[in-house]
Structure 1
């Protein structure tokens, strides 16, 4: 089932008042971004829970049909390539289930940031912009917006004012820099509040990016020391 709960890695207090659901990239797992949490330098005592789910294992066409952790199948990386709409829908169901579980644990959607890197970022954007409840923020690193032509008809009014953080490497050999700028332009043209960052790097993250993300999270979650 697309709305079944995935296994997760979690960092933070059991009695959190805010949550960040962070989706990893293709072939990685939930441990991939676990070490970044202290580097974000959130306020001391901030009650933020980081939830890092493991994507299901599935064959990936782009990688010769090899089975690996993937949120959906990838046929190609250019804008004209057919996209796995059924896989995207399934991944969105997994993300929504995790948001709902945070609500059951006392963190409402408006205190949840949906985040991701690369393929995980694509799912975060695809799901977050369509989510029927307002989220605290949507973040995508080194990523792109799937099915951009459908956004106008499918976007949720609840998240039209939700802040969006986007960052991309200028020399990214996996997801071209132009995919990042195109995503930024699409969202800005649609009226979204986009904070954009670009760095002289490839398909990765860098310290300056992590610091900028930490500052954005402080604002998106209105974090103060001791929260």
Structure 2
């Protein structure tokens, strides 16, 4: 059980209708904030067909080593250019716990687990995958964009059987200079080897999101909720 005394993540909330019974929790990337993906809501037809609560939490502000120790919103520290090595496991686990508490808050408010999707871009995508795969109840799905899976090598030690049953969408840019596409592909292979249902797509773009990717996400979400 999560400690109710822990501070709740600040967040932006957008509902597409009254009394939403579906939800998407969307985690932003390094240095951004919860407003970063807010404009995606009107671009998703699946959210216009039903009442969906979109929750865009703000990561805490903390120093980031790779950016000269500058303080910014980050889900965990990045210590070098090899982002999957020398990982800030304490920071990753703290953010997973905070997102877990946010998910539990939505479930307690009446959103069913099989109608809640956990999504994220870049650093936020890493937390989304790491958190969702360890949940004791299967979520409607996980979305990881331009990202990778932290602690992939020890997946069998920390993932739950319920978490591994969640369908996963992973999208990546073939020209990504921040999170190399090979890292994303390796993560997808780890997940598939563990029995996860992974939909992998890539587009000729840098560390970004393109309209075609948003359309693919829209179709994938509609499949999860139909």
Normalising to structure 1: TM-score of the pair? 0.94
Match of 1:59 in 2: 63
How far off is 1:123 after superposition?
0.1
Is 1:71–1:119's contact at 8 Å kept on the other side of the alignment? yes
> What's the CA shift string for 1:87-120, capped at 9, x where partnerless?
0110001111110111122102222101000000
Q: Residue 110 of structure 2: SS of its match in structure 1?
A: coil
Distance (whole Å) between structure 2 residues aligned to residue 79 and residue 91 of structure 1: 17
Match of 2:9 in 1: 6
Match of 2:32 in 1: 28
* Residue 84 of structure 1 pairs with residue 81 of structure 2: no
RMSD after superposition: 1.5
Aligned length: 222
Is 1:3–1:96's contact at 8 Å kept on the other side of the alignment? no
Is 2:41–2:47's contact at 8 Å kept on the other side of the alignment? no
Normalising to structure 2: TM-score of the pair? 0.94
Match of 2:147 in 1: 143
Unaligned runs of 5+ in 2: none
Q: After alignment, is 205-214 or 36-45 more displaced?
A: 36-45
Distance (whole Å) between structure 2 residues aligned to residue 43 and residue 85 of structure 1: 34
Distance (whole Å) between structure 2 residues aligned to residue 108 and residue 92 of structure 1: 20
Unaligned runs of 5+ in 1: 223-227
Distance (whole Å) between structure 2 residues aligned to residue 111 and residue 132 of structure 1: 15
Inter-CA distance 127–77: structure 2 relative to 1 (3 Å threshold) = farther
Q: Residue 46 of structure 2: SS of its match in structure 1?
A: coil
